[in-house]
Structure 1
Amino acid sequence: MRFHMIPGGPTPVAPFSHAVETDGLIFVTGQMPDTPEAPGVLPDGIVAQTRAVMENLRLVLDGLGVGFEDVAMARIYLTRFKDDYPALNETWRSYFAPGRLPARTCVGVTGLAYDALVEIDLVVRRPA
């Protein structure tokens, strides 16, 4: 296994690697909607927070030489599921080519680090 910390990547909120890679699969730790420049500072609203999470995921993926087109599975955690699910879906869709959406689980949770509205983790397959 390889444990990855991406230089200039998102600031971890706990003791973990940005990603762990084994047998061609990359498990990307759930990312928060802050930025590497301002850890713990969150934008307002689900659309802005979803975009911030996706940009943090992009930083990690870029650092590993893969992209959103390589994502096989995602898990999304929402603190205001009923309110935010439609807007999250619309924002999420914009990061993937039509017909190329990864498998996904989305669940409502009672809380996230920094009181974030959303957190997303990924399973990625490294292209051969």
Structure 2
Amino acid sequence: MSEGIHASAAPAPVGAYPHARRVGNLLFLSGIGPRDPASNAIPGNDYFADGRVRGYDIQAQTRAVFANVRAVLEASGARWEDLVDVTVYLTDMSRDFAAYNHIWAEFFPDPARAPCRTTLGITALPTPIAIELKCVAALSEDA
């Protein structure tokens, strides 16, 4: 099995796991969220004075998580177009699905060339984020 891959341009994992691991021509990404790689801030979050989240911008978080996935792909020798399967976790499916789905269509305008996708509504993620992606990419043998 290959060594874990660390992407310096992506936010640090929140646990003891790599950003990605390559096995054969498949690249498995750990869950990737929208945290800013430099500051660890969460784009679009608005906080009360006591630190609780007052609200968030799912569009800002979706764009940020896509940028972080791209950073991990590039650090792994892969491209955005190499994605073949994406599992999306949303903490508020009824509120956020339409906006996230609209941005998905911007990044994957041709459904026939887009990766397969599963979207799940969940109650929480380990940090105060509203979206996380779990991805698999297929690489060429010489990548």
Q: TM-score range by the shorter chain?
A: over 0.9
Question: Please, what is the CA RMSD of the aligned residues?
Answer: 1.3
Matches of residues 1-128 of structure 1 in structure 2 within 5 Å?
1-2=1-2, 3-43=4-44, 44-98=56-110, 99-128=112-141
Offset, 1:8 = 3.2
1:18-51 deviations in Å (ceiling 9; x for gaps)? 0011021000111111111111433231110000
Percent of aligned positions that are identical:
33
5+ residue gaps, structure 2: 45-55
Higher helix share: 1
In structure 1, C-alpha distance between the alignment counterparts of 2:83 and 2:16, rounded to whole Å: 24
In structure 1, C-alpha distance between the alignment counterparts of 2:108 and 2:74, rounded to whole Å: 15
In structure 2, C-alpha distance between the alignment counterparts of 1:51 and 1:80, rounded to whole Å: 17
Offset, 1:70 = 0.6
Distance 1:105 1:70, change over 3 A: same
In structure 1, C-alpha distance between the alignment counterparts of 2:29 and 2:103, rounded to whole Å: 20
Which residue of structure 1 aligns with residue 53 of structure 2?
none
Task: Answer yes or no: is the 8 Å Cα contact 1:93–1:101 preserved in 2.
Answer: no
Which residue of structure 1 aligns with residue 47 of structure 2?
none
In structure 1, C-alpha distance between the alignment counterparts of 2:61 and 2:106, rounded to whole Å: 14
Give the alignment's TM-score, normalised by structure 2: 0.84
Give the alignment's TM-score, normalised by structure 1: 0.93
1:49-75 deviations in Å (ceiling 9; x for gaps)? 000000000100111121121111000
